[in-house]
Amino acid sequence: MTEHTSKQYDAELESLRTRVLQMGGLVESQIVCAIDGLGSSTDGAVFHEIVRREAEVNRTEMEIDELCNHILARRQPAAIDLRSILVAIKMIRDLERIGDEAEKVARMGLKIIESGRNFVPKVDLEHMAKNAIAMLRKVLDSYARVNAVSAAEVVRADIEVDDEFKGILRQLITFMMEDPRTITRSIDILFVAKAIERIGDHSKTCPSTWCIWSRAAMYATLAPMWWQRKPTTTELRAYKIGHTPMAIFCRNFVAGLFAVFAAWFCVLHSAHAEGNYDQRAKAMELAQQLQAQHNIPVARTLALLKEARYLPHVVKAVKPPNKPGVRDWDRYRSRFVEKFRIEKGIEFWNDNETALNQASQQFGVPPEVIVAIIGVETIYGRHLGKNRVLDSLATLAFDYPTGQRDRSEFFTQELAAFIVLTENSHLDALQVEGSYAGAVGLGQFMPSSWQAYAVDGDGNGIIDLFGSKTDAIFSVANFLKVHGWEPGVSALIPVEIKQDRHLSTLLAPDIVPTFTPQEMVQQGLELKHQTLENEKLALIELVRSTGPSDYVVGGNNFYVVTRYNRSSFYATAVLELAQALRTNRELSMHQTSGVDPV
């Protein structure tokens, strides 16, 4: 700084620089304490201190502003002296705003502490904050040293802070979409991240970087090796336009607007989420029913339902498609009667042969049918479902979509069965996962089916359809037996249509066995397997998207399989997979033993 004739004038200018740097140090300590408090504070004392010291920052700004006015009025500075005073005036404005942002972080920290730290998403605010603090320190250093290159580095650093903010925003949106319970805390964290990002913006726009801005500084920003290539006129013009105060304001405004919109979209998208189910009238009715019938306290049921959350994808899964597709048996069959399921099914059969033979002897169900059902349902335990059952059942019980057949009562009863099941077993209601519809275990039993048909196959005193393959095998066999499986009675019979004039009559009962073998023959069918003389059969049409339909005949045991899943496609796929499993296993055993199959 050039010395003046008046030593007092020099002292006033130096005092001004010192006071600005002291204010910068005070603001910096505010930010550091706020960020440290977010990670470690449990009582809020640090945040209260930051809020209290914000008044000191404001008072310091007013004192420096008064000193600048005093120098302007008494000394009438010009040239570099005038520019240094104007820089100080503008710089303290930005420092005061940075202090305001630190206070925002502190207040949000207090809010998080007061409301509890439950459901606070984990994002890396610390690294972003360190970069913003480093920017402020570099601004203060460039102001103290009048260093244009250092000021230019601040602009480059702000790009990194902005990128980190965008990354945190994407993470928070993901958290809110995946777990609506995090929405409130995610919005709090979003405002903290925005405050840190604004600290970076104010550091970048501090007048020290504008006043001492030089062409060399712009080169340093445009390219790290700026001395190797001079920027073009177009690059310089674009840079200047992009870094005007109005451009910066517009970018920040749009980013903030997008963040708020994204947060409120998540809120609206999950309007039923986060503890609403315990407040529903149907929930109170359910709780009172469980207390009356199973002696489960109302408060316990409501507390459990408070933890349930709305699952939008479950509602979407039960809605009919906007454009109904054409049913295609060939495509459906190819999903289940295929090489992988056959190979893994044979492995499952071999590994659990003793349990399968015991279950087959006790319940009269062939081993291949038991294996096939477990294979179709979960690929032998590989796909058990990733939806929390409490959430799925609560969603379908209390928020079943309108515009279609209302099945909310069915899912309400399944929710009740699930609560009773978890009350009386080793299962944790908050941890059990299954299909989007609430089916669980290797055999995908609904909770009411678990209660009614699950069997302790291994005799250890615990029914475990997740971890015990023996329990799952016995339970599937028991389900089929209870629903009427009969040894020696037909399940699936190939058929040839000799005359089709009576097809509509034969197809009218759908999957319900109605006609005797003789009646079917009289109406133009040729059965390819032997049947009992008086057993009832049903003609099943397997529709193709292209070409004529295929037909099979289902007997009583075919109908029993449809009690597991009320679909003719499902039952046919299970029984064809069962046939493939037995055929391929016998062939494999004959090849291993070196004996040709009979």
Number of Cβ within a 10 Å radius of residue 103 = 21
Question: Is residue 61 flagged as an active site residue?
Answer: no
| Nearest CA-CA partner of 272 in 308, 313, 320, 317 | 308
Residues 183-219 as b/e (b if ≥16 CB within 10 A, e otherwise) read: bbbbbbbbbbbbbbbbbbbbbbbbbbbebbbeeebbb
CA distance 66 to 81: 17
Characterize the bridge pairing of strands 433-434 and 550-554.
Answer: unpaired
Residues 497-511 as b/e (b if ≥16 CB within 10 A, e otherwise) read: eeeeebbeebeeeeb
Q: Which residues contact 161 (CB under 8 A, 6 or more apart)?
A: 128, 131, 132, 135, 196, 197, 200
Contact 309, 179 (CB under 8 A): yes
CA distance 252 to 422: 50
CA distance 368 to 354: 13
For residue 494, what are the β-bridge partners?
552
Amino acid at 213: W
* Sign of the torsion angle spanned by Cα atoms 264, 36, 22, 150: negative
Query: Which contiguous run of DSSP H or E holds residue 396?
Result: helix 389-398
- Is residue 525 left, alpha or beta, with left meaning phi > 0 and alpha meaning psi from -120 to 50? beta
CA distance 462 to 291: 25
For residue 539, what are the β-bridge partners?
553
Number of Cβ within a 10 Å radius of residue 341 = 22
| Residues counted in the chain | 598
CA distance 187 to 198: 16
For residue 527, what are the β-bridge partners?
495
Lookup: tokens for 554: 């289902």
Number of Cβ within a 10 Å radius of residue 550 = 16
Residues 41-71 as b/e (b if ≥16 CB within 10 A, e otherwise) read: beebebbbebbebbeebeebbeebeebbeeb
Contact 218, 239 (CB under 8 A): yes
Catalytic, out of 96, 103, 274, 377 = 377
SS3 413: helix
Just list the catalytic residues.
377
